[in-house]
Structure 1
Amino acid sequence: MDQTGNELNVTYITLAGHVEVHKYRYLYFVIMFTVYILIICSNSIIVYLICIHKSLHEPMYIFIAALLLNSILFSTAIYPKLLIDFLSEKQIISYPACLFQGFIYYSFGGSEFLLLSAMAYDRYVSICKPLQYPTIMRMTTVKVTLILAWILPACQLLGTAILNATIKICKSVLNGIYCDNAVSKLSCGNTTAQNVLGVVILLNIALLPMLFIVFTYARILIISYNSSKDVKKKAAQTCVPHLLVLINFSILCTFDVVKNRVESDLPKTVRLIMTLQLIVYHPLFNPIIYGLAMKEISKHLKVLIYQDKLN
């Protein structure tokens, strides 16, 4: 680090959120490596089943596959660096790499909300406008929706990443085990522009999709309540898994906001536990919910497991 006045030109950031990593480094590595493999395998199996079975080549299942693929990409932005840190003497990351990791982290997080919004709309059309479903939810519409779900968050977050790349930082310690929006607190300058842009992005890729999802499911609930038992059963079978995933992800996102806002008031161990909830629980929760609760996926999963046992 080169010092100029009161400002430091910091090349590397120390990730200080680890708890007794030198004492338990190998235990941490084995546990997190196992979790990462489980995330890759569990999500990939469901995606594989959706790809190979034509009966699952419907918008609802395509969106599920995209959501699970998003979980794999989200985890891959965090776990490889985390595993390296466990085995390293110093848990450090270069500032550009830190910005890139934070960009990827929030980009795929934003994509998650947009994909959940697309799934909510798909269920709304299927249950509330069944006769118009083939016309509205065409494969072209699905493809465009998937592209936008991955591109829009990245495009919006690019502005914040560029602003953060231009600021000078005078702190070299980040209270976390990976890079998130707390990196802006390392700045020794005015970060008002980053904060305002961050709020706008939060509204666009999280709060507005959340309001859309709530409105959509409220409409489904009202229409299902006044419909036949078959419609109620269909709504319950296909909407409940999505709602569980949405609630789980929303709670974990709230954790992310809280831990970055009150980091000085949180004990280090509590902060670490909240952080691990974000990167461990959700990527494993999704394939379990969809693998068990979605009837068609569960059926093909049982056949796959049964074939493996026979072999």
Structure 2
Amino acid sequence: MDNVSVITVFTLSGLRDIANYRVILFVLTLLCYCVIWLVNLTIIVTVIVDKKLHEPMYIFLCNLCFNGLYGTAAFYPKFLYDLLSTTHVISYAGCLLQGFVLHSSVCADFSLLVLMAYDRYVAICRPLVYHSLMTTQKICILVFFAWLIPIYLLFMSTITTAVLRLCGSHIPRIYCVNWLINNLACSASVARIVIPAFNYTFYIGHVLLVFWSYVHLIKTCQSSKDNWNKFMQTCVPHLFSLTVVVLSFLFDMLYMRFGSNLQNFIATEFVIIPPLMNPLIYGFKLTKIRNRILGLVCFKRK
């Protein structure tokens, strides 16, 4: 027990079996990260530059893309470095920071998707009061809390993890996760169980709220062709994005608890698929953004 407080680094063992494919994986990972930056940054810049896109739905989408860059920044640089290194370790503080950023990014995804569902609900079900409800001031407040709540909840979870007395330093993964660090604790504590349980319940509530709102939206839109067209154009991409995030998160949770032969893919797909799919889905599906991007590309060619 004398050594439990002197752990300064963690060993990551997720890359131990890929020595022969290190260069190929590095190239593919770097390419994937560049594409993630390209598609997300394209949406962010397009929304910021074009004043016609300064509407609630596009502002929320801009934050969703920014969150994709925020979350992936905690994984890809370290992972790329590890692919070229023979030792796969991370400092204690770095491990906590990585876990905090990755978890808070996932939670912020859920918060922003809830805001987008609320925006679509008001726009379709209560169009007469849409502009009075979705004012600039209210949008700023909603976005602020969509970032603040995940950061606060994950900060509390990280603090709980940081004060644990650890009896090990081996993490069987390619990046740090609070749940795996908690498993290294010398003894059980109520806080390490209660806080994660509250966080999971809180964001499961987010998902249920969004799906409930879409059941109501579908019922409302069936009576009007215009509303149904609006639903198909703006709501289907959002629903698809939510499904991707939920499935990615569930796969990740299942891997952590039960393991898998596809462990490296399942461990990383939530930092690959949502950051890639969200901007691509909205970029192609939302007419205003698609036309703006195509207009910029065509103008540069001329």
TM-score category (smaller protein): over 0.9
How far apart are 1:174 and its partner, in Å?
Answer: 0.6
SS in structure 1 of the partner of residue 183 of structure 2: helix
Q: Separation in 2 of the partners of 1:248 and 1:93?
A: 29
Greater mean alpha carbon deviation, residues 253-262 or residues 187-196: 187-196
- TM-score when scaled to structure 1? 0.93
How far apart are 1:25 and its partner, in Å?
Answer: 2.1
2:62 partner amino acid: A
Report the number of matched residues.
Answer: 301
Q: Separation in 1 of the partners of 2:32 and 2:16?
A: 18
How far apart are 1:8 and its partner, in Å?
Answer: 6.9
Q: Separation in 1 of the partners of 2:121 and 2:136?
A: 17
Alpha-carbon contact 1:15-1:177 (below 8 Å) kept: yes
| 2:101 equivalent to 1:135 | no
Cα RMSD (Å) of the superposition? 1.4
| 2:231 equivalent to 1:235 | yes
How far apart are 1:19 and its partner, in Å?
Answer: 4.7
SS in structure 1 of the partner of residue 10 of structure 2: strand
The answer for the alignment partner of 1:197 in structure 2 is 195
Greater mean alpha carbon deviation, residues 120-129 or residues 181-190: 181-190
The answer for the alignment partner of 1:295 in structure 2 is 287
1:247 partner amino acid: T
Alpha carbons of structure 1 residues 191 and 31: separation in structure 2 relative to 1, 3 Å: farther
The answer for the alignment partner of 2:299 in structure 1 is 307
| 2:156 equivalent to 1:159 | yes
How far apart are 1:308 and its partner, in Å?
Answer: 3.0
SS in structure 2 of the partner of residue 14 of structure 1: strand
Aligned with 1:39 (options 31, 36, 41): 36
Q: Separation in 2 of the partners of 1:54 and 1:36?
A: 29
Gaps of 5+ in 1: none
Write out per-residue CA displacement over residues 130-163 of structure 1, whole angstroms, 9 at most, x where no aligned residue: 0000000001111111111111111112222111
| 2:208 equivalent to 1:211 | yes
Alpha-carbon contact 1:47-1:69 (below 8 Å) kept: yes
Write out per-residue CA displacement over residues 166-210 of structure 1, whole angstroms, 9 at most, x where no aligned residue: 111112111111111222111122144212210101112x21111
Q: Separation in 1 of the partners of 2:21 and 2:88?
A: 14
Write out per-residue CA displacement over residues 47-98 of structure 1, whole angstroms, 9 at most, x where no aligned residue: 1111111111100111111101110111111111111111112110011211
Q: Separation in 2 of the partners of 1:80 and 1:254?
A: 24
Alpha-carbon contact 1:9-1:169 (below 8 Å) kept: no
Q: Separation in 1 of the partners of 2:279 and 2:156?
A: 33
Alpha-carbon contact 1:118-1:145 (below 8 Å) kept: yes
Write out per-residue CA displacement over residues 96-132 of structure 1, whole angstroms, 9 at most, x where no aligned residue: 2111110111111111101000000000000000000
1:244 partner amino acid: F
Q: Separation in 2 of the partners of 1:27 and 1:170?
A: 36
Write out per-residue CA displacement over residues 267-307 of structure 1, whole angstroms, 9 at most, x where no aligned residue: 3xx11111121111121111110111111111111112222
Alpha-carbon contact 1:127-1:231 (below 8 Å) kept: yes
Q: Separation in 2 of the partners of 1:49 and 1:85?
A: 34
Q: Separation in 1 of the partners of 2:288 and 2:182?
A: 45
Aligned with 1:77 (options 74, 79, 98): 74
Write out per-residue CA displacement over residues 215-265 of structure 1, whole angstroms, 9 at most, x where no aligned residue: 111111111112x211111111110010010111110010111111113xx
The answer for the alignment partner of 1:245 in structure 2 is 241
Q: Separation in 1 of the partners of 2:272 and 2:155?
A: 26
The answer for the alignment partner of 2:59 in structure 1 is 62
Question: What is the identity percentage for the equivalent residue pairs of Structure 1 and Structure 2?
Answer: 32
Alpha-carbon contact 1:67-1:115 (below 8 Å) kept: yes
How far apart are 1:40 and its partner, in Å?
Answer: 0.7
Aligned with 1:4 (options 2, 18, 24): 2
Q: Separation in 2 of the partners of 1:276 and 1:308?
A: 35
Aligned with 1:260 (options 256, 261, 266): 256
Q: Separation in 1 of the partners of 2:5 and 2:109?
A: 36
Write out per-residue CA displacement over residues 7-66 of structure 1, whole angstroms, 9 at most, x where no aligned residue: 473211111111534322222211111111111111000111111111111001111111
The answer for the alignment partner of 1:187 in structure 2 is 185
1:150 partner amino acid: W
- TM-score when scaled to structure 2? 0.96
2:77 partner amino acid: P
